[in-house]
């Protein structure tokens, strides 16, 4: 007998009986002849698909391709002995995500289940036990960060401080990961690869795209005609252009537009691709911010100028912080999308995680193992996107709660 | 220097400065583009020097001009876009309606599908569909088939299709006339029904005219269309509608991916129709299907058309990922032209313009019906 929590119980819990199960099935699956037919068909399809999937998983799937190529998938052809440039970023990323989560919300049950299934079941099966154990310290540190942020944000003041710390973590993380790549001789950008390249390209693009996007959004809502027209044309041009075309432009033709200071026009492809991503994403960030800017009441600016703030001061101190806060969910969506679209670098021949995965099945012993390795790649991106989107929805809820308290 | 304190003067000065900055940037970019070839497209008339695979309606060879190769690429982009939009709309509507279904299993499965796809990068999805699904299909001699009608193999996919003979044009004209006639009859009878209050059966009349036009026209013009069923040959299929593995894999990935977004749009639009509308329709004695068709869907359609147009444009743009599976679409052919002519900037300007026109066309096709909706709403009110 399992006890499950049922909403109808007086004390909140009671024993689940077969009658309950029957009622559950009747109201949800078999409440009309049409629904009965639909349910039976769907059950048959679902059963067939699960049988096919699990028989493949148990009988013919072989995840050796992931285990043997773990390094290639994670960092590509990154030189041996240079990993110290990478581990701090991985640890920092986990800590920043979980600290932010603790500072703004809490891990919901569904997210916890997803994380647990991924970390305890999926990773060990696919990447092997030793590969999972390598990630264990990072996971423990991230969990500790989460509980520390939860504990320190019991009081309202502590919460604000924790949120500031979270902001600082994110602000430090992106530049420091780039600095780590470049100090002490650095590593040739041509050797950056794997999922690490996805992280580097997308975070580098965020750093460039955010300020540029803010400028574009301000330009588009500006009262100066030239700025308005210029920003609008730029934004609409980028929004109408397919990303692969933009990436190919960076590959083959960006040098025509870069000024020739100190060999800037022949800068490495990774940087050019990052610039292209930044130029492209800035237009979408501007659009996301424009919504936030338009939502700010006129009275805010009027009150600022009544207090004697100059136009620039009221923009930087009053308008922009609120606009960024209003459009944080949309911005988070853009950043998640940017991370996923960074797999498009395949178009210009960089070896990101997806391209590395395609390369593994050209090794003779792993010929025909595309399903296994691509499933793994897909799951890694899926879990990252899922976690970040849950984080952003917690953020959204926390921010809307703050707004309603003040009102 | 008192005039500098004048608000209007300062404003005009700032205006001039911003115009100067924007103009300088524009001129810089234009000058650089001009120096790198600009709009000089003369090289497009030279021999292409490369073949374009996977052509269906065109037959361009390496001896033709680059313009012809570009055209062949454009046709492939149009092909994948049209098929992709159609398929993603069909699947997306189904999934979107299933998400609102009273059937628990259908709603949960649809929800799971949408969540699965929305957190997955499109390139991973495309590569998976191509290398792990389509290329892993059986060899052509051992093709998988559906009831002997459609065949799937790693070399090619073949579906039943119509093959047309001489009278097809005449039949098409008759069908078109039937559609126009049905539309006119529906309008006249519906107006009479509204004016006189007597039932005039506009839908039945329209359907009757349509059936007569299609079936009657088919017989009169000498049965110009017959089913063309594919057959398995030794090395290839014969007959039917054949698709290359690249096209089929890309089509599968693009349409299943976009279907999840279409489903969210459809669900949101249907949910945006107030509950009271449906309850009122039920109180008037309309059946659930009638409630959906006559009350909910017309209102939901008006809400969902603009975002659906954006989604369709997205599909057109995303189809340029074709290069990942080596499908020769517009962007792939454009890249090849850049490589063998060295003229990057002109080709980019050309591609940008082409995608803009494509996006514009999609917007007109999708938002075109919306004008009718708002117009007919205004007329009734």
SS (HEC) of chain B: CHHHHCHHHHHHHHHHHHHHHHHHHHHHHHHHHHHCCCCCCHHHHCECCCCCCCCCCCCCCCCCEHHHHHHHHHHHHHHHHHHHHHHHHHHHHHHHHHHCCCCHHHHHHHHHHHHHHHCCCHHHHHHHHHHHHHCCCCCHHHCEEECCCEEECCCCEEECEEEECCCHHHHHHHHHHHHHHHHHHHHHHHHHHHHHCCCCCHHHHHHHHHHHHHHHHHHHCCCCEEEECCEECCCCEECCEEECHHHHHHHHHHHHHHHHHHHHHHHHHHHHCCHHHHHHHHHCCCCHHHHHHHHHHHHHHHHHHHHHHHHHHHHHHHHHHHHHHCCCCHHHHHHHHHHHHCCHHHHHHHHHHHHHHHHHHHHHHHHHHHHHHHHHHHHHC
pLDDT given at position A407: 34
Residue partners of B338: CB distance under 8 A and separation at least 6: A248, A252, B344, B347, B348
Give the chain B residue nearest A43 (alpha carbons).
Answer: B105
Q: In this complex, do A240 and B135 lie within 8 Å of one another by their Cβ atoms? A: no
Residue B203 has pLDDT above 60, yes or no: yes
Average pLDDT over residues B264-277: 90
- Across the interface, do A347 and B135 touch by the CB < 8 Å criterion? no
Contact A370 B29 (CB under 8 A): no
| Global model pTM greater than 0.80 | yes
Residue contact B348–A249, C-beta within 8 A: yes
Put simply, the answer to whether A39 touches B105 (Cβ < 8 Å) is yes
Query: Which chain A residues touch B23 with a CB distance below 8 Å?
Result: 226
Confidence of residue A317 (pLDDT cuts 50, 70, 90): confident
Q: Which CATH class is domain A68-406?
A: mainly alpha
Q: Rounded to the nearest 10 degrees, how much is the dihedral formed by the CA atoms of B152, B154, B156, B160?
A: 0
Q: How does residue B103 score in pLDDT terms, banded at 50, 70 and 90?
A: confident
Does residue A403 register a pLDDT over 70?
no
For residue A404, give how far its alpha carbon lies from the nearest alpha carbon of chain B (Å): 24
Cβ-defined contact of B104 to A241 (cutoff 8 Å):
no
Token code pair at residue A248: 């190919």
Distance (Å) from the alpha carbon of B110 to chain A's nearest alpha carbon: 11
Distance from CA of B329 to the nearest CA of A (A): 12
Q: Residue B357 — very low, low, confident or very high, per pLDDT cuts 50/70/90?
A: very high
* Predicted pLDDT of residue B257: 95
Q: Is the pLDDT of residue A276 over 70?
A: yes
**Is residue B288 very low, low, confident or very high in pLDDT (cuts 50, 70, 90)?**
confident
The pLDDT value recorded for residue B150 is 80
User: Å from B11 to nearest chain A CA?
Assistant: 9
Residues A188-237 have pLDDT tens digits of: 888 888 888 998 898 889 888 999 999 999 998 888 888 899 999 999 99
Of B120, B136, B359, the CB nearest to A240: B359
Check residue A127 and give its pLDDT. 75
CA distance B198 to chain A (A): 34
At B378 the pLDDT is 39
Is A386 in Cβ contact with B122 (below 8 Å)?
no
Residues A321-379 pLDDT 10s: 888 888 888 888 888 999 999 999 988 888 899 999 988 888 888 888 888 889 989 98
Judge: domain B66-160+229-380, CATH 1.10.357.10.
no
What pLDDT does residue B368 have? 67
At A72, is the pLDDT very low, low, confident or very high (cuts 50, 70, 90)? confident
Per mean pLDDT, which of A83-87, A287-291, B232-236 is the most reliable? A287-291
CB contact under 8 A, A245 and B135: no
Where are chain B's structural domains?
A: 2-35, 66-160+229-380, 164-224
Instruction: With CB atoms and an 8 Å threshold, state whether B123 touches A344.
Output: yes
Point out the residue among A38, A42, A343 whose CB comes nearest to the CB of B124. Answer: A343
pLDDT at A4 over 70: no
Average confidence (pLDDT) over A96-109: 83
What pLDDT does residue A14 have? 59
Please determine, for residue B55, whether its predicted confidence score (pLDDT) is greater than 60.
yes
Inter-chain residue contact A252 with B120, CB threshold 8 Å: no
pLDDT-derived band at A15 (thresholds 50, 70, 90) equals: low
Position B373 scores a pLDDT of 47
* Confidence category of residue A253, pLDDT binned at 50, 70, 90: confident
A282 to chain B, minimum CA–CA distance in Å?
17
Q: Which of A229, A230, A358 sits opposite B127 (nearest CB)?
A: A358
Task: For residues B21-47, give the mean pLDDT.
Answer: 88
Q: Which of A3-7, A93-97, A242-246 has the lowest mean pLDDT?
A: A3-7
Average pLDDT over residues B200-228: 84
Identity of the residue in A252, A343, A375 whose CB atom sits nearest the CB atom of B344? A252
């Amino acid at each position: 007998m399992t006890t499950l929590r049922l909403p109808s119980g007086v004390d909140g819990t009671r024993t689940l009986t077969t009658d309950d199960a029957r009622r559950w099935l009747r109201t949800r699956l078999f409440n009309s002849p049409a629904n009965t037919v639909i349910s039976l068909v769907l059950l048959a399809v679902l059963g067939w698909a699960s049988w096919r999937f699990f028989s493949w998983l148990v009988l013919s799937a072989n995840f050796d391709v992931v285990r043997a190529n773990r390094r290639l998938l994670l960092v590509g052809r990154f030189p041996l002995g240079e990993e110290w440039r990478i581990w701090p970023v991985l640890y920092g990323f986990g800590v920043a995500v979980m600290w932010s989560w603790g500072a703004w919300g809490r891990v919901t049950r569904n997210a916890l289940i997803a994380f647990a299934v991924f970390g305890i079941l999926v990773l060990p099966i696919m990447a092997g036990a030793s590969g999972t154990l390598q990630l264990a310290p990072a996971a423990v540190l991230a969990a500790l960060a989460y509980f520390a942020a939860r504990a320190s944000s019991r009081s309202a003041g502590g919460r604000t401080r924790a949120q500031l710390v979270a902001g600082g973590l994110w602000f430090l993380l992106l530049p420091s990961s780039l600095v780590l790549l470049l100090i002490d001789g650095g590593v040739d950008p041509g050797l950056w690869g794997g999922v690490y390249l996805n992280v580097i390209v997308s975070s580098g693009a965020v750093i460039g795209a955010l300020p540029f996007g803010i400028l574009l959004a301000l330009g588009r809502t500006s009262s100066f005609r030239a700025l308005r027209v210029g920003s609008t044309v730029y934004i609409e041009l980028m929004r109408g252009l397919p990303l692969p075309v933009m990436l190919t432009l960076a590959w083959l033709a960006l040098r025509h537009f870069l000024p020739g200071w100190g060999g800037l026009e022949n800068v490495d492809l990774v940087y050019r691709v990052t610039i292209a991503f930044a130029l492209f994403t800035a237009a979408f960030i501007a659009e996301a911010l424009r919504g936030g800017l338009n939502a700010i009441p006129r009275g805010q600016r009027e009150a600022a100028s009544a207090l004697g703030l100059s136009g620039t001061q009221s923009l930087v101190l009053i308008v922009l912080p609120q606009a960024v806060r209003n459009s944080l969910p949309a911005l988070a969506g853009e950043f998640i999308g940017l991370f996923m679209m960074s797999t498009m670098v395949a178009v210009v021949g960089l070896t990101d995680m997806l391209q590395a995965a395609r390369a593994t099945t050209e090794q003779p012993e792993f010929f025909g193992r595309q399903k296994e390795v691509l499933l793994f790649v897909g799951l890694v991106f899926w879990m990252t996107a899922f976690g970040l989107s849950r984080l952003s929805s917690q953020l959204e809820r926390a921010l809307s709660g703050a707004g309603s308290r003040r009102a | 220097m008192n005039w500098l304190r004048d608000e209007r003067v300062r404003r005009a000065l700032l205006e001039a400065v911003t115009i100067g900055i924007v103009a300088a940037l524009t001129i810089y970019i234009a000058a650089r583009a001009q120096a790198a070839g600009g709009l000089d497209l003369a090289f497009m008339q030279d021999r292409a020097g490369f073949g374009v695979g996977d052509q269906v309606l065109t037959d361009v060879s390496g001896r033709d001009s680059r313009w012809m190769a570009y055209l062949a690429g454009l046709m492939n982009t149009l092909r994948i876009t049209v098929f992709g939009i159609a398929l993603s709309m069909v699947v997306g509507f189904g999934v979107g309606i299933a998400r609102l279904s009273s059937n628990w299993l259908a709603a949960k499965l649809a929800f799971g599908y949408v969540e699965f796809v929305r957190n997955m990068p499109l390139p991973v999805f495309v590569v998976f569909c191509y290398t792990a699904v389509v290329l892993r299909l059986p060899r052509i001699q051992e093709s998988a088939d559906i009831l002997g009608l459609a065949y799937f193999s790693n070399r090619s996919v073949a579906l039943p299709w119509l093959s047309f003979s001489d009278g097809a044009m005449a039949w098409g004209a008759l069908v078109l006339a039937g559609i126009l006639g049905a539309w006119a009859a529906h309008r006249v009878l519906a107006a009479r029904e509204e004016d006189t209050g007597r039932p005039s059966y506009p839908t039945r009349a329209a359907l009757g005219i349509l059936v007569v036009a299609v079936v009657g026209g088919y017989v009169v013009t000498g049965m110009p269309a017959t089913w063309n069923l594919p057959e398995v040959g030794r090395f290839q299929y014969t007959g039917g509608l054949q698709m290359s593995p690249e096209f089929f894999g890309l089509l599968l990935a693009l349409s299943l991916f976009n279907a999840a977004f279409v489903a969210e749009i459809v669900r949101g639009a249907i949910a945006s129709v107030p509950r009271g509308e449906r309850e009122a329709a039920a109180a008037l004695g309309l059946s659930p299907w009638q409630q959906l068709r006559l009350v909910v869907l017309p209102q939901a359609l008006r809400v969902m058309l603009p975002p659906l147009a954006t989604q369709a444009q997205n599909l057109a743009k995303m189809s340029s990922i074709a290069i990942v599976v080596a499908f020769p679409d517009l962007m792939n052919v454009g890249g090849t032209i850049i490589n063998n002519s060295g003229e990057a900037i002109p080709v980019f300007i050309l591609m940008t313009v082409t995608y803009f026109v494509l996006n514009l066309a999609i917007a007109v096709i999708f938002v075109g019906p919306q004008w009718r909706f708002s117009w007919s709403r205004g007329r009734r009110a």
